[in-house]
Amino acid sequence: MTTVPYIKPLQSGRTDAASVVQIGGDWTLPHYAILEPQITELRGRLAPDSNVGWSELGALDTSGAALLLELLGASRLLALTDEAEDLSVSRRALLRSVAQAMLDSREPSVTAKPATWREVLGHIGQSVDIFWQHTVGLLGFLGLVLGSMLAILLRPRRWRMTSLVAHLEQSGLNAVPIVALLTFLVGAVVAFLGATILADFGATLYTVNLVAFSFLREFGVLLSAILIAGRTASAFTAQIGSMKANEEIDAIRTLGLSPIELLVLPRVFALLIALPILTFIAMLSGIIGGAVVCAMALDISPTMYLSILQQGIEARHFWVGIAKAPIFAILIAVIGCMEGFKVTGSAQSVGERTTSSVVQSIFVVILLDALAALFLMEMGW
């Protein structure tokens, strides 16, 4: 039989003795609606040091303990349970648990803020570690691709000619218009800017040498590689990443086939063939762009332009530029395929890895081109 709960003040005035409140009845969930208005009314009038009588308390559950906590406060409730001799062990434990939980939740977690220099050094260390992991992963995947490439070169039956031709069309033939147009415009801009500066020294004729030298050694292969990195490496990552997300690569392995041989090598061979050809087209387009500006703005006829090219530009500049193309092609294809294999299965992961492949490819191409330029200049080549 349940007893209706109540709160009965035994002494309302403040004298030398503290006021006393008697808690009685069953403080349980069914009586929550009865007790809550009384708690709200009494809470503002109850003295902070009021004593509480527990002798008439009936049943008690968590909801009743929460109301007592609201009435008395967590600290006061803990103190009263320590002093109360007419509380059973179980009720005292319940009240203490509720009060202690409230105190713990109110205590803000104090986290010591690390010093700024430690945060900076930590961020630098984390970035270096990530860069090192990327470098090791790239070198490991590059070694795996080169090993697989050497393993099938002498076995024509294992060549994937259909896949090779398809990727060659996609990454090479379809990229010719954009490469030719971009390098033509860049060649025209270089010629115009060079002529503007060289005119102050009366050396306008050397604009031809400037355009030819820059495109044969640097701009032809660099612009082609950057365009392929943004256009083809991203496509490789998206294609392989989608296959990874759809578990098609796991199916390939289940059939006993090698994903490297089936997916990566045709793309690498396609770029090995396409990028040198695109580089040659870029060199021609850039030189033609310079010739157009020279003919229209500098009164240098195409015949004179070709004569200066033949007499003043050595063939070694062409070979320096074209020799970089296979190296860039392997790195761009390997990075694009490697990032595709890193996709975890979501569309967001495909997008992140596609962006990463483009950024890494462009970074590696520009870094190696700069190192090669410094080395070749020091060697006098």
Domains with residue ranges and CATH for the chain: 6-106 (3.30.750), 161-379 (no CATH)
Q: pLDDT class for 17, splitting at 50, 70, 90? A: very low
Q: pLDDT class for 181, splitting at 50, 70, 90? A: very high
Mention every residue, 6+ apart, whose C-beta is less than 8 A from residue 34. Answer: 4, 5
Q: Which residue has the higher pLDDT, 270 or 58?
A: 270
170 pLDDT higher than 60 = yes
Q: Each residue of 201-249: pLDDT tens digit?
A: 878 888 888 888 889 888 899 999 999 998 888 888 888 888 888 888 8
In this prediction, residue 107 carries a pLDDT of 54
Q: pLDDT class for 110, splitting at 50, 70, 90? A: low
Q: Each residue of 184-202: pLDDT tens digit?
A: 999 999 998 888 888 878 7
In this prediction, residue 326 carries a pLDDT of 92
Token pair belonging to 222: 């660099």
In this prediction, residue 328 carries a pLDDT of 93
15 pLDDT higher than 60 = no
Q: State the average pLDDT for the chain.
A: 82
281 pLDDT higher than 50 = yes
User: 210: number of CA atoms within 13 Å, CB side?
Assistant: 22
Q: pLDDT class for 47, splitting at 50, 70, 90? A: low
162 pLDDT higher than 90 = no
In this prediction, residue 13 carries a pLDDT of 45
Residues 100-109: contacts with CB within 8 Å, 24+ apart? 100/74, 102/69, 102/74, 103/74, 103/75, 103/78, 106/74
Q: Which residue has the higher pLDDT, 17 or 4?
A: 4
234/247 Cα distance (integer angstroms):
20
Q: How many CB atoms lie within 10 A of CB 177?
A: 10
7/13 Cα distance (integer angstroms):
16
| Percent with pLDDT over 90 in the chain | 17
In this prediction, residue 12 carries a pLDDT of 44
Rg (CA), the chain: 40
Mean pLDDT over 28-45 rounds to 75
Q: Each residue of 282-317: pLDDT tens digit?
A: 999 999 999 998 888 888 888 888 888 888 788 888
Residues in the chain: 381
10/20 Cα distance (integer angstroms):
5
53 pLDDT higher than 80 = no
